[in-house]
A and B are shown apart, each in its own frame.
Chain A
Amino acid sequence: NAGVTQTPKFRVLKTGQSMTLLCAQDMNHEYMYWYRQDPGMGLRLIHYSVGEGTTAKGEVPDGYNVSRLKKQNFLLGLESAAPSQTSVYFCASITRLGLRSNQPQHFGDGTRLSIL
C-alpha cells in the first residue's frame, strides 16, 4: 500500500517554464489537496478537489492550476513559473467519510521545487 505518492521529488525550473506535479493515491480517497510549505510558515492550501472532475480554490491559488481527471490522481500545474513559487509542495487526501467523521488527512512526502 503506497498511500500518497508525489512525483517528482525535486525539480529546478527557470522563470517562465511550466511543469506539472503529480499526486497519486491508492486509497480510493475522494478528497485531495495541494499545499505549499514555505520556511517558517505552516502549510497553505493551494487548491483542492472533492471528487473526480471537480476542483476548487484554496487560500493561495494564484499562479497554479489543477486537474482531477481520475479519482486517484491530482495534478498541480505551474503555467509560467516564478521565483515566488519556490517552495515545498505537499499533497494530501482523505475519504469523504473520514472528513465528516473527523479523521486526519494523509500526506505525501513532498516535491521540492526551485525556480531560478
Chain B
Amino acid sequence: GESVGLHLPTLSVQEGDNSIINCAYSNSASDYFIWYKQESGKGPQFIIDIRSNMDKRQGQRVTVLLNKTVKHLSLQIAATQPGDSAVYFCAEKLLLGSQGNLIFGKGTKLSVKP
C-alpha cells in the first residue's frame, strides 16, 4: 500500500546547529503535506505545511522543501534549540478519495544537545 516514511528514526544535533528531517512519500496523488511536532505526553502540534504546487515554504526558523520528482519532503530547523527536542511527523493528504484523510510517517526523534 501507499505510505509515508522517514529516512532516519533518530537525529541528534548540537544546540545552535541546523536540523534537517527527511520524509519519503509514495503517493503522487497527494496534494498537501504537513509537518507535526509531538512533545512527550502531548498531541501532534502543527508546524508548517506545503501544497503540492509549491516546492518551498518558510516559517519562523522552519522551512519545508518538497521535491515531487523524487517524492521527498524535508523539514529544516534553523538554529536548533533545546525546545525543539521532540518527535517530528510528516503527513500527506490524498487528492482523490479517502475523504482527504491524512497518512502519517513513523516519525523522527530529534534530540538537541546543549
Contact = CB atoms under 8 A, between A and B. Distances in A.
A joins B in a complex? yes
Contacts of B45: 107
Given A40-B106, A102-B51, A110 B99 contact: no
B44 A43 contact: yes
B84 interface: no
Contacts of A42: 4, 89, 91, 103-107
B102 A105 contact: yes
**Interface majority SS on B: helix, strand, loop or mixed?**
strand
Interface in A85-109: 90, 92, 99-100, 102-109
B41 interface: yes
A50 interface: yes
Nearest to A56: B99
A41 interface: yes
A48 interface: yes
A96 to B, nearest CB: 10
A58 interface: yes
A104 B100 CA distance: 11
Contacts of A90: 43-44
A40 B9 contact: yes
Interface of B: 4, 9, 31-32, 34, 36, 41-46, 49, 51, 89, 91, 93, 99-107
15 contacts: A4-B43, A42-B4, A42-B107, A45-B101, A58-B101, A92-B44, A99-B99, A99-B100, A100-B100, A102-B32, A102-B51, A103-B49, A104-B36, A107-B44, A110-B42
